Structure 1
């Protein structure tokens, strides 16, 4: 399993793999931890509609995760990997499917 990840991510070192996996886990935990104070600031509590909570969680956690991933990755010495990872992820969000243009007959 780890050899597949190393090949996919184009890394060779087990230590680098460990640092990358650590960055992913720390970033996930930190981004969820940040949600609580933001919810308190926005006065979102137990009585708030569940749909609003879910929507706000997505809007808060997603960009927070992206930013923290690069920051935590940088602290662990893996900036280049996570910068490329973010660029690839953002390109997936922004890319639109190209349709083939049909040549017009004269």
Structure 2
């Protein structure tokens, strides 16, 4: 998975990622994802703004595209400048596949 941009402004509402699919697997995915921030030499869970929750409803396309594109609403979190990563899990019917992509939030 790769971010569409490596740097986003502090006031960004969403960040975007592309998952390339060269083996043309039909993947099952949902809204369950994790945002982490690099702090003091390790990845820490980002703090949310208020009372949010993400349910995980599975979705599977009835075809296997060359790539999947995702939008992640980071405005639900207390964003400060720094290095972040998105972690998302997928399932191909046999195994779980977990991927991540890093990006920066700038002032």
Q: The TM-score by the shorter chain falls in which range?
A: under 0.3
Of Structure 1 and Structure 2, which has the larger fraction of its residues in strand? 2
Name the TM-score, length of structure 1 as normaliser: 0.24
TM-score with structure 2 setting the length: 0.24
Structure with the higher fraction of residues in helix conformation = 1
